[in-house]
Amino acid sequence: MGLLKGIDPLLTADVLHILRSMGHGDKLCICDCNFPAAQVATNSTSKKHVILTVTLPEALDAICSVFPLDFFEQKQAVYMGPQEGVEMPPAGVEVVSSMKEVIMKNCGGDATIDKMERFSFYEEAKSCFAVIQCLERRPYGNVILWKGCVGPDGLDLKP
């Protein structure tokens, strides 16, 4: 495998195939290294479970460099939050903060990124198009992105 001009090297052939195959409204799950990715992927549209051996912010930055978000919905992404009665540890707060920065950097800074309780997140992930798992070891490094449209200017299409 070799590289392509203008495309982040982390976007392997399999990742590019997944991202380009997804249409408007399809969802992508990007998860940490503790997530039950293989199991969740068996329920996904493509059944694909691809690994990128970097942290969540690194994987997310590469993906968001080409992936348009769905600004025709009320939210563009959700991240996993703790189940009831559990507090998010500092490392989780940190990874969620980085995640938000990376998404904002790539979409023009106006995405809505909501929290979703752990078990609801697993359910939501099962209806994704594919699961891309990274080597993020901080807890709660899991996010679902809604795919939008690319406008005639080549950027995220917004209403």
Task: Choose which of 10, 16, 54, 104 interacts with a second copy (CB under 8 A).
Answer: 16
Q: Is 122 one of the catalytic residues?
A: yes
Task: Choose which of 57, 68, 81, 139 interacts with a second copy (CB under 8 A).
Answer: 68
* x-marked contacts with a second copy along 90-129 as a string, rule CB under 8 A: ----------------------------------------
CA–CA distance, 65 with 15 (Å, rounded to integer): 13
CA-based max dimension of the chain: 48
The helix, strand and coil proportions of the chain, stated in percent and rounded to the nearest 5, come to 35, 20, 45
For a second copy, the closer CB: 6 or 109: 6
Q: Which of 70, 79, 140, 156 is labelled catalytic?
A: 70
Q: Is 24 one of the catalytic residues?
A: yes
Q: Note whether 27 binds a second copy by CB under 8 A.
A: no
Q: Note whether 147 binds a second copy by CB under 8 A.
A: yes
CA–CA distance, 41 with 49 (Å, rounded to integer): 6
Only one of the segments 19-27, 34-42, 77-85, 119-127 lies at the binding site for a second copy (rule: CB under 8 A); that segment is 19-27
3-state secondary structure of 62: helix
Cβ neighbours around 43 below 10 Å, total: 14
CA–CA distance, 79 with 74 (Å, rounded to integer): 15
